[in-house]
Structures are given as structure tokens and as C-alpha cells.
Amino acid sequence: MSTALLLLLWNGLFGVVVAVTAPVTITQDWGGRFQGDLTFTVPENMAGWEVKLNFSAPVGKIDEWMGDEVSRSADNTQILLVNKQHTGVLAKGDSLHIQMFVTHPGTKAPSGIGELINLGHDNFVPPSAPPDHDGTKYDLNEVLEKSILFFEAQRSGKLPATNRIPWRGDSALGDRGDNGEDLTGGWYDAGDHVKFNFPMAFSVTSLAWGLLEFKDAYSDSGQLEYMYDSIRWPLDYLLRCHVSPHVYYVQVGDGGQDHSYWGRPENMTMPRPAYKIDETHPGSDVAAETAAAFAASYLVFKNKNATFATQLLNHAKTMFQFAEAFPGKYSDSVSAAAGFYRSFNVTDEMCWGAAWLYLATSDPHYLQVAERNYITGAAWGQSWDEKNSGCMVLLYKVTQKAQYKTDIIATFADWMPGGSIPYTPKGLAYRSQWGSNRYSANMALIAIMASLQGIHTKQYQRWAESQINYMLGDNGRSYVVGFGTNPPTQPHHRGSSCPSAPAPCSSFNQQQNGPNPHVLYGALVGGPGQNDDYTDSRNDYVKNEVACDYNAGFQSAVAGIKALYMRGALP
């Protein structure tokens, strides 16, 4: 008999687990060794599976070709098989046939039953944020919640007991500096497993800015404590990297070796070298950006955790002094970073970091440094390597000087319809093909922040909303994994593309058709081409890449739009 029977429906914390059973049919029995056949009808698409074999009496060696034995009970009656790399992908309705030759100590073959469990199907259902009743077109509470979950999925190091991502575990616990310094923690940059501090610090600054200005949105959505916890994770790592006043580790992991590995971060075995800046290998750009992250986060935490906030501010001051005293581009000092996050200027980071430190301290020295490093004119945009538009907004906020307002208006004259930035047919401001959503989301945040200073308030707010709504579905589909209509299902992300352990994972999984086994909730994918063209394929790392800096400005802009609706400024 080979008909698969429904065994179990378990409504648990993370959803419904479906398993099926089938009996082991004895086709030959030679006394001491038998041939058994086990056939399942696959109940749902699978990218990995395990079969639990239960026999009525002990058995010895099992020869079969569909899986690998990974464990057995002490009494040799229960054996766990896990798919081989080439047998793990199955479609709903397929037959999984396992023919086995089994030794046993008795004179008659024991009876057996097999239980098939899907390791390549995500049963995780995220907690439900309270419904958004602010009048927004899309449920922004859900977007905020899921974006925070994305950052949790990016965590490196020893995960806390409160980890909400069931398919993630501890990883990279051996990350160390040259003298054994603890460099564990932080966020993996994108769909890979390198920790690049330059974009990581920028992401923290962008998120802290949004939390500082739109705390009411996070509170109303039930995400405030999760948000504090979210940015605390990379902040603790960045503090650990600042091992002395003039020594700062800026990268862990070699991009070349890392990108040749397709698998879970929990299973990495390649070397993970650490790279630092110091007095003879300067990096004032990454030092100033990290100072900005510390200073902005000081403002976030000063009324919540004064001790932690003071630690952040002290490191911000020391880090910025390092940036001032030893100028230079970090990617000139750290060649391992140059192929991935090459810096093209340091003046924007010096302005940005100084402006945040002035907001945190009111020390006029920082304002002088910020204004001295300010670059006049329309800004290209806002990104991990381009902070001129952010500087405009901060400096106008603290000085009210006409030059900064003029430059903000000139920047958005370029970005608004009719300016120099082209638009896709369905309405996305298209700055660059690599992460097209990211640039528009970042500028949506800048537009909202400028509007709070009374600059073209309604125009900028509505433009920002149009860009975010494009990403949430106004173009006909969502670009946020796990949210809205027809969202991406194949983000270019190693961890989410792998079935649950102990199923194997390799570049074989990268090439498979179909959704990633684990839903990378909240991740904003790179986005469309200039004609709104988009294919949901994890092999397209231009359109389907995900990254912390993609989500940072986006999430803060979402919080800003929600806050504007809550405050009655929109619609």
C-alpha cells in the first residue's frame, strides 16, 4: 500500500505544520535483510524534506539513494533521512519513492512507517500589528512591522532568546579582530554574509532619524519597543568595532570568498578576516558616518536609557575627532571594501556627522565643521555614499539660512516630474538601475523631512507618498516581500533561499524555480527597470537584491507618511 495519509495538522506559534505518512511495504524478505518500498504523494511544493522512519523492531544498515541518514535513536528503531541535494525539490502531487534495503537482527522483517515533513516550506506567520486606521491607502502598520522583521532576519552573532525568525540561528560567532577583539553581532549587509560598516552605519542613522521624528507612528503601530531593539543590535556591534580612539574595524568577511558561497550563515566555514582603519590607514568617511549613527541614536535613547545614550555620545565625539585628525577615504585604506562600497568623497560624511553631533551637543565647533564641509548646489540624491541632501535639511533646520533652503528646492526641482530625473511610465523617479526603489525611498524621506521645515510642505509630502505607494502596489504589484499584491517571492538572499536545516543548501538552491522556502518578510527588493520591467528571479541581483540600506530610508519614510496622516497633515 502506498497511499499517503494525512498525519498531522498542528496550529502552533508559527502556523500550520503538515506531515504525511505512508507504510513501508515489504517487497522482499531474505531473513536478516529485507527490501522495503515507501511512497508518498507530495502534499505541497518542497525545496527540502526529511523522512522519519519508525520500525517495530531494531534495524541495522539502511541502503537507499534518495536521502542521507542523519540520526537514529539509541534503540535503532527510529531513523531520520534528509534529502540529497538533487532530490529535495518536489512539486505538489509528485511521488516521492524511497526504495530501501535494510538489515535487521530478527528472522522476520519488522513493520515500518514513514513520515514526510517539508523542510522547504515556511510555516512562519509573523505577528499581526494592529490595523492601521489612519486613512492611508496601504496598511503602514503592517509595513513597519515587516520591515523590522527583515532587519531581524539580517542579524549576525548570538541571537537573543526573543529571536522571532525561526529559520535563523546563531552564526559567525568567531568574528574577531587582529588581537582577538569581539566583533560578533551586527547585520549582514544584503543577501550575503559580509558586515560592511559603512552602509550599516548609514542605515542606522536613517532609521534613528525616522524614529526620532516619527516616534508617534511607531508607538501607534505597536512597534516602538521592537524598533528600539532593532537599532540597538547594530549599535552594540559598531561600539565593539571601535576598539580604541583611533582604531575602528570597518568590515568583517571577504566579499570574494563570501559571494562564492551560497548557503546559510549558520553553516559558513570560510575565513572571515576583519579590516580596520587607524592613524596610518585613515577613513574619515566611515568614521564620520558612524559618529552620525551614534549621535542620532544618542538623541533616540537619551530619555530611554541614559547610560547607553551617554556611551553612544562619547564614542560619537571620539570617532569624529578621529575623522577630523586623520582625513582620507576608507576604501583607499581597505582595498577589500573598494569593490563593493567604494567611497567617492569624504566631505559629505564630515558635514553629516558634524551636523548630527551639533544636534546632540549644541557645540558650535560641530556646526562650523558641518558648514565648512557643505557642498553647495542640487544634490544627486541620498544614499550610503551621498549625504548632501540630508546635510541640507539638517543645516537648514539649525540655521534657517537661505542657501540650504535654495539647495533643497533645487534638488527637488530635479527629482519632481519635469526635472532631470527620469520617471518610469507608472511613476517611479528613476535615479539608477541598481536599487531603483532604494534611491526614491531615500529621497521620499528627505522630502518629508524638508516638508517638516515648511518647505513646499504639501507638494513634497504628496510626492513622497506617491513614491512609497508605488513600491507598495500603485504600479500593479508590491516590491516588499510578504506584503500586498503579488509581492516578490524570490529575493536574492541566501538564507531565505535555503530549506530548513538539516537539508543541504548550495548554489543548486539558487538556481531552483519557485518561491524561496522562507519568506523574507518586509524586504524591499531593488526594483524595476526604467520601463517598470521586473522579473521575480533570485538570479537577478540587480532587481531582486535586498540590503539593509534599501530598507532603512524606506522604513523611515513609511513611518513619516503614517505620522503625517496621524497628525492630520495628509491627505
β-strand pairing of 274-277 with 195-196: unpaired
- Examine the residue annotation and report whether 258 is marked as an active-site residue of this protein: no
- Examine the residue annotation and report whether 259 is marked as an active-site residue of this protein: no
CB atoms near residue 180 (< 10 Å): 7
Assess contact for 308 and 301: CB atoms under 8 A. Answer: yes
Q: Which of 68, 94, 536, 540 is catalytic?
A: 536
Collapsing DSSP to helix, strand or coil, 113 comes out as strand
**Dist. CA 228–CA 235, nearest whole Å:** 11
- Examine the residue annotation and report whether 192 is marked as an active-site residue of this protein: yes
**Dist. CA 110–CA 497, nearest whole Å:** 38
For residue 295, what are the CA distances in angstroms to 354, 357, 552?
A: 9, 6, 17
Assess contact for 502 and 510: CB atoms under 8 A. Answer: no
Collapsing DSSP to helix, strand or coil, 321 comes out as helix
Q: Which of 139, 192, 386, 532 is catalytic?
A: 192
Helical ranges in 194-223 per DSSP H: 197-213, 215-220
Q: How many CA atoms lie within 13 A of 376 on its CB side?
A: 6
DSSP summary character for residue 172: -
- Examine the residue annotation and report whether 385 is marked as an active-site residue of this protein: no
Q: What is the largest CA-CA distance in the chain?
A: 95
**Dist. CA 40–CA 528, nearest whole Å:** 41
Q: Which of 132, 142, 545, 549 is catalytic?
A: 545
Assess contact for 528 and 425: CB atoms under 8 A. Answer: no
Q: How far apart are the first and last CA of the chain?
A: 64
CB atoms near residue 362 (< 10 Å): 10
Collapsing DSSP to helix, strand or coil, 221 comes out as coil
Indicate the residue type of 179: N
Q: What is the four-CA torsion angle of 291, 545, 389, 380, rounded to 10 degrees?
A: 130
**Dist. CA 471–CA 453, nearest whole Å:** 26
Collapsing DSSP to helix, strand or coil, 5 comes out as strand
Q: Which of 492, 518, 532, 549 is catalytic?
A: 492
The set of residues, in sequence order, having a beta carbon less than 8 Å from that of 319 and lying 6+ positions away, is 242, 248, 287, 288, 290, 291, 294
Residue found by looking up cell 536545516 in the block: 501
Residue 231 C-alpha cell reads as 537599532
- Catalytic machinery residues: 192, 492, 536, 545
